[in-house]
Amino acid sequence: MHVVIRADGGPEIGYGHLVRTGALGSELLDRGHDVTYATTTPEHVREVCPAGVNTETVPSRDAPSPVRDFVRDHADVTVTDSYLVDGAYQQQLRDVSPLVVIADDTRHAIAADVLVNGNFYAADLKYEVIGPQPEWCLGPDYLLLRSAITDYASKDPSWRETPTRAIVTMGGSDIADMTPIVMQAFDEFDIQVDTIVGPGVPPKQKELIEETATSISADIRVTRDPNDLPERMFQADFAVTTASTTTYELLALGIPMISVPVIENQELIAESLRARNLATVLDRNPKKEEISCAISRYFAENTLRKDRRDRGCDLIDGQGATRIVDVIVNMS
C-alpha cells in the first residue's frame, strides 16, 4: 500500500505536524508500506521524519490541485495534517483517494473517511461534516507519538524524592523566545537543567541562550536538537515546555510539567491540562518569578509530582500510531 501524507513543517510554522505524522509514517514503514510526503518543506521532512519516507514537492500550502493530481496517480490512502487543508480541499482529495484527516480543532468542516484528533478535548468538540460521517478516532487512544517515546513509555519512570534533573524544551523553533526566561527562573536552584534548542532556532537566538546559561547558578546544559531527546525527557524529574505535542510525550513518559502555551492554538491543550490537574499551567508570556514559583512547588510537593507522574502514564499508552494504521490498512 502507498500512503501519501500532506504535511509541512519548519522554523516559521513549527514542526508538530511533521513529528506526529512521522510517527504514523514510521509505523507504516515498519509494516512494509510505502510513504510519500506531499510537502512544501521537503528539507524539513527529511530532517524530522523517518529515513524511509519519500518526498514530493508541491508548490503551495493551500492549493489542492497539484496534491490532488499526485494523490490520484499514486495514493491508496491519503493523510492530511495541515491547518490550511479546509473542507473544500479535503473534498478534492477525497474524490480521488480514501482520506484521513488529522485535526486539532474545528476551524474547518470535515470531508474525510476518517477523522483523527488525539487531544483530550477531542470528543467534546462539535464538528461540521460535509457528506457521509467519518470514522471517529478521538481522544488520547489515537495520539501519534514517536516510536522512541512509546519505547520509553513502556518502562517505569524514575523517581527521586528531591528533584535533581529538569528539562526545558520550548518547541522546535521557540517562536515566543521563552527559553532564556525559563532558564533564568532556575537561578539559585540546585539542579541540572537540560535545555533543548530546537532545530528551527536561529543562530543568534541560540547564542543568547548559551550566554544566558553562563549567568545562572543552576547546572544549565544547552544542547541543540539532540538525538537522545526521548531519553533526556525520560530521565527528568520534571519539565518546562509549551502546550504542544511535547505535552503528550511527557505525559506518556510520566514526567510532571510546567506548561506554557505560547500561541493561540495551544490554549485548548493548556485548558485540558488545567481541568485534569495534569500540569502546572501558566498563562502566556509568564514572568520569570511565576516560572520560579512553579519550580519551587515541584521541589516542595513530592505528592504532586508523583500523582502527575502516575496519572500521565495511566492516561496515555503510546499506541495511537498502531491503532490508526490498523484503520488505514482496513481502508485500502
**How is the chain split into domains, by residue range?**
2-145+318-331, 149-315
Has residue 25 got a pLDDT over 90?
Answer: yes
Q: For domain 149-315, give the CATH superfamily.
A: Glycogen Phosphorylase B; (3.40.50.2000)
- Residue 123 DSSP class: G
Contact (CB, 8 A) for 273 and 247: yes
Confidence of residue 13 (pLDDT cuts 50, 70, 90): confident
Angle between helices 16-30 and 320-331 (to 10 degrees): 60
Full-model pTM: 0.88
Contact 108, 290 (CB under 8 A): no
Model confidence pLDDT, tens digit, residues 49-89: 999 999 999 999 999 999 999 999 999 999 999 999 999 99
Which SS3 state, helix, strand or coil, does residue 223 take?
strand
Q: Give residue-wise pLDDT tens across range 130-183.
A: 999 999 999 999 999 988 999 999 888 889 999 999 999 998 889 899 999 999
Confidence category of residue 104, pLDDT binned at 50, 70, 90:
very high
In the 8-state DSSP scheme, what is residue 174?
Answer: -
Q: What is the pLDDT of residue 245?
A: 87
Q: Give the whole-number percent of the chain exceeding pLDDT 70.
A: 100
Residue that has been written with the C-alpha cell 471517529 in this structure: 136
CB–CB of 233/250 below 8 Å?
yes
The whole-number pLDDT of residue 167 equals: 98
pLDDT value at residue 14: 85
What band does 237 get if pLDDT is binned at 50, 70 and 90?
A: very high
Closest by Cα among 98, 91, 100 to 76: 98
Q: Which amino acid is at 80?
A: T
Res. 20: pLDDT tops 90: yes
Which of 3.50.50.60, 3.40.630.30, 3.40.50.11190, 1.10.3720.10 would CATH assign to domain 2-145+318-331? 3.40.50.11190
Mean pLDDT, all residues of the chain? 95
Amino acid making up residue 300: A
**pLDDT (tens digit per residue) in 286-309:** 999 999 999 999 999 999 999 999
d(CA 91, CA 106): 16
